[in-house]
Amino acid sequence: MGSSNVEIVQEAFAAFARSDLEAVLDLSDPEIVVRDPDRTGTAFHGPAGLRSFFEEWLENWEEYRSEPLDFIEAGDQVLVHTMQTGRGKLSGIELQQDLFQVFRVRDGKFVEYRLYTDRAEAFRSVGLDG
């Protein structure tokens, strides 16, 4: 029996937490699109784009962690409320911030990954009231 969309997303978070980017990439569809409207306003495409997104994101941090707090399934999407914590590489500033990540899953793979800092916007993006 196949895994649920939430289980697939949980697997990706576990892989990310152990710094296993290859396992995260294995859960991604070849046509994955990464959208980061709040920070970059751009989209990254395919596994190479996802790798580039993570490398660019993580290069700014001395320490970084994204801990999932809640998983909400909405059709083919999973909205994850996470707490991101870290320390900037150059600034040394400590950060603790809510982050909302949305994964669109098809046939057991991520086809879209979106990030939001605004809770209401994240919930609206999956058709829910937040």
Query: Is the pTM above the cut of 0.75?
Result: yes
In this predicted structure, the answer to whether residue 118 has a pLDDT above a threshold of 90 is yes
Quickly state the pLDDT bin for 1 (edges 50, 70, 90).
very low
Q: Which fold has domain 5-125?
A: Nuclear Transport Factor 2; Chain: A, (3.10.450)
Strands 28-36 and 109-116: parallel
pLDDT of 104 over the 60 cut: yes
> Quick check: 3 pLDDT over 90?
no
Could you write out the DSSP letters of every residue in 45-93? Answer: EHHHHHHHHHHHHHTTEEEEEEEEEEEEEETTEEEEEEEEEEEETTT--
Distance (Å) of CA 21 to CA 16, 27, 98, 124: 6, 10, 22, 29
- With a cut of 80, say whether residue 124 has pLDDT above it: yes
Strand-pair partners of 63: 87
Average pLDDT, the chain: 92
Q: Where are the domains of the chain?
A: 5-125
Question: Which pLDDT value is given to residue 2?
Answer: 54
Show contacts of 46-52: CB within 8 Å, 24+ apart: 50/24, 50/25, 50/113, 51/21, 51/25
Q: Which residue has the higher pLDDT, 27 or 39?
A: 27
Q: Tell me the percentage of the chain whose pLDDT exceeds 70.
A: 98
